[in-house]
Amino acid sequence: MNLSSDELEILETMLLNCNSAKVTQIANESDKELDVTMRHLTDLARIGCVIPPQNEHYSITDEGKRVLGIQPITKEKAKSIIAYTPHDKAFNFHISHDAHGHMHAHSLQDFANKLSRVDLKTIEFHMDNGDFEAWFKCLDDQELTKKTAVIKKRNITGEHLKLLLQRIIEQRCQELMKLVEQTTS
């Protein structure tokens, strides 16, 4: 499936929104004109990449995620993503290549909890170096890997970066826990 760069950017914007968003929000966040965004959303809905508006909100589908390189995950994969990691695989927060910190995250939820206590300089250092993206890739979480790559590509910084990371990681933890807790019928 060959999508335009605008359509891919709109899908990436929707991916960062996690749940759903109004067309005005999608246009604003993808830096596109409203009519252009609306036209692309209509085309994306026609090919199954987005769900047409429910109460004026569009949502990305599994097909839309596939187009961005994200495969659906199983309950077992969700378990492994949220599992405790040994110290040698933990994420180590620090503010430079030479200044190693004493804060480590041993799981995705641990990472989410500690992210709120980390200063902006540390977060920006790790984002600039691709450290978050690399750790999420090591956890084999394609969705968080893609989301952090999109954030880095868009050069989001400061408090907005911290809040966005906290939101997407918390939501991801909730999605994964919900998947793990589902009973097989």
pLDDT at residue number 92: 93
* Structural contact between residues 170 and 115, judged by C-beta atoms closer than 8 angstroms: no
CA 107 – CA 144 distance, rounded (Å): 14
pLDDT at residue number 100: 67
pLDDT at residue number 101: 66
Q: Give CA separation, 113 vs 2, 15, 104, in Å.
A: 39, 22, 11
pLDDT at residue number 1: 75
pLDDT at residue number 145: 98
CA 33 – CA 12 distance, rounded (Å): 16
pLDDT at residue number 54: 80
Predicted model pTM:
0.92
Domain at 5-67, CATH from 1.10.10.10, 3.90.1300.10, 2.60.60.20, 3.50.50.60: 1.10.10.10
Q: Is the pLDDT of residue 12 over 70?
A: yes
| pLDDT band, very low/low/confident/very high, at 52 (cuts 50, 70, 90) | confident
The distance of Cα 18 from the centroid of its chain, to the nearest Å, equals 7
pLDDT at residue number 53: 84
Q: Is the pLDDT of residue 23 over 80?
A: yes
CA 14 – CA 26 distance, rounded (Å): 7
Q: Is the pLDDT of residue 184 over 70?
A: no
Question: Where in the chain is CATH 1.10.10.10?
Answer: 5-67
Q: What is the per-residue pLDDT across 77-122, written as a single tens digit (0 to 9) for each?
A: 999 999 999 999 999 998 776 766 679 999 999 999 999 999 999 9
* Structural contact between residues 149 and 88, judged by C-beta atoms closer than 8 angstroms: no
Residue 89 φ/ψ, nearest 5 degrees: -110, 0
Give the number of other Cβ atoms within 10 Å of residue 130's Cβ: 13
Q: Is the pLDDT of residue 174 over 60?
A: yes
Of 69 and 184, more confident: 69
pLDDT at residue number 46: 96
pLDDT at residue number 157: 95
SS3 at position 36: helix
